[in-house]
Structure 1
Amino acid sequence: MELQEQLRQIKRALHSMMNGPVSQAMRNKGLTYKVNFGVEKPRLEEFSHELPKTYELAAALWKENIRECRLLAGMLMPVADFPADLADVWVEQILFPEEADNLVFYLLSRTSYASERAFVWLADERPMFRYVGYQLLGRLFTEKKVPNRRDMLEYLDHTTTDLRADNTMVKQAAWRSLMKFMDLGIGQERLGNQVLDSVGM
């Protein structure tokens, strides 16, 4: 099937799933997409299983200014076709935290370069990059992936800084990832508590 026809059919299907009250509530919270059908995430994930998982379709969906299309892009992009340099581009183009969380869960956490890019993004000045870095490391910590000592110290240094930052989005992401880091073991819990003590939390 031609790519443009695939996109048209997907948009028609999404329109048929539209949830007006949810869409309006999202707009009221600032999710200002050109189109937002308000489709709930579980229903969107179920719909993704009916679609082909190809680079071409995922890349085309990501370019749409439609909430559901951009979320589907992260669900459909084959991990093997998603190199680190493209991950940098997509993170730079993220519009809202929901997109970041979706990319982390369905795509970024499954890449071979997840940890390496997470630390690169933590060092970036742009808040969304740091947000994605913390969310990604938090996901890896949940999967019981323990960083080596060098990475651990670098992570704790960034976390200490961002827990003192004014950016609420980044601060909350840093705090959530630290809680997951502390769940890795007694040693990590002790180090995490030292960070919390140092920032007065």
Structure 2
Amino acid sequence: MDRHSAAAAILDRLRTLGSEHNRQGMARFGINVERACGVSMAVLRPLAREHRRDHALAIALWDTQAHEARILACMVEDPRQAGPEQLGRWVEDLDSWDVTDQFCNKLVVKTPYAWELAVAWAAREAEFVRRAGFSLMAQLAVHDKAAPDAAFLPFLEFVVAYATDGRNFVKKAVNWALRQIGKRNAVLRGRAVATARRLLELDSKTARWVARDALRELEGT
């Protein structure tokens, strides 16, 4: 079976496994369900294990445009074969926060391009591209154990630059990046707290929300 036929068979399986009840539940969490089957991550994980590290299948799954198929594509893709051009095409297709975060967590953070793409995408205006940038910053703070503290300081400047973006899925990602950087260690906690206090001085309700929510976690205030 060629990869496009395999992707079509998987999509048929997803449609069988999905439900309208699940779609409605997803929608309540702000997920775009226009092309969703209503399949949970608990169902997708064993499916991904059946097709691990299959680059051609990942491409074919993504091209179906189905919501869960795109999440599955991120889970089965081989990060060694996902080049910057492909990642650039995929980030342009993002239309829901959950696919965005799975794209960053399951795929992009495992590639050699994660650091450069985090700052490049954060600076872009498109809502889910910008979210991807800050989601990726949060993922790097969690997963790149070898990175020096200094590598995260430019990310904090991006937090300041874009904390005034009032779009819900962006401001939550900016906040997430700030919190995860601060939780990395005591030194970065201090820098993240200082960044949050800078945000409190801005004439922006969004920036102040980002700051206060981060400070509640980082300082317990």
- Tell me the CA shift for residue 52 of structure 1: 5.6
Match of 2:71 in 1: 71
2:100 is equivalent to residue 104 of structure 1: no
Q: Show the counterpart of 2:140.
A: 140
1:10 aligns with 10
What is the CA-CA distance between 1:145 and the residue it aligns to?
Answer: 4.7
8 Å CA contact 2:39–2:68 kept in 1: the answer is yes
Asked whether the 8 Å contact 1:138–1:177 carries over to 2, the reply is yes
Q: Say whether the 8 Å CA contact 1:79–1:110 is kept in structure 2.
A: yes
1:46-98, Cα deviation, whole Å (9 max, x unpaired): 11112263222111111113112111111111111100121111111111111
What is the aligned partner in structure 1 of residue 32 from structure 2?
A: 31
Distance 1:115 1:96, change over 3 A: same
- Write the letter of the residue equivalent to 1:140: L
After TM superposition, the score normalised by the length of structure 2 is 0.82
The residue that corresponds to 2:61 in the other structure is 61
Distance 2:31 2:5 in 1: 31
Q: In the superposition, relative to structure 1, how do residues 52 and 174 fare at CA in structure 2: closer, same or farther (>3 Å)?
A: closer
Partner of 1:197: 197
Runs of 4+ displaced beyond 4 Å: 27-30
Instruction: Kindly state the Cα deviation for residue 115 of structure 1 after the two structures are TM-superposed.
Output: 1.0
Q: How does 1:81-160 map to 2 (within 5 A)?
A: 81-143=81-143, 144-147=145-148, 149=150, 151-160=151-160
Q: 1:148 to 1:183 in 2, by over 3 A?
A: closer
Distance 1:12 1:93 in 2: 22
- CA 1:164 to 1:8, structure 2 compared with 1: closer, same or farther past 3 Å? closer
User: Per the alignment, in what secondary structure is the counterpart of residue 79 of structure 1?
Assistant: coil
SS of the residue 2:24 aligns to: helix
- Hey, what does 1:171 align to over in structure 2? 171
Question: How far 1:2 moved relative to its partner?
Answer: 2.2
How many residue pairs get matched? 199
Give the CA RMSD over aligned residues. 2.0
Question: Does the 8 Å contact 2:23/2:33 carry over to 1?
Answer: no
1:40 aligned to 2:40? yes
Q: Distance in 2 between matches of 1:173 and 1:27?
A: 19
Structure 1 residue 101 displacement after superposition? 0.8
Q: TM-score, normalised by structure 1?
A: 0.89
Inter-CA distance 190–78: structure 2 relative to 1 (3 Å threshold): same
Choose 67-76 or 16-25, whichever is displaced more.
Answer: 16-25
Shift, 1:182, TM fit:
0.8
The structural deviation recorded for 1:159 is 0.3
1:116 Cα offset (Å)? 1.6
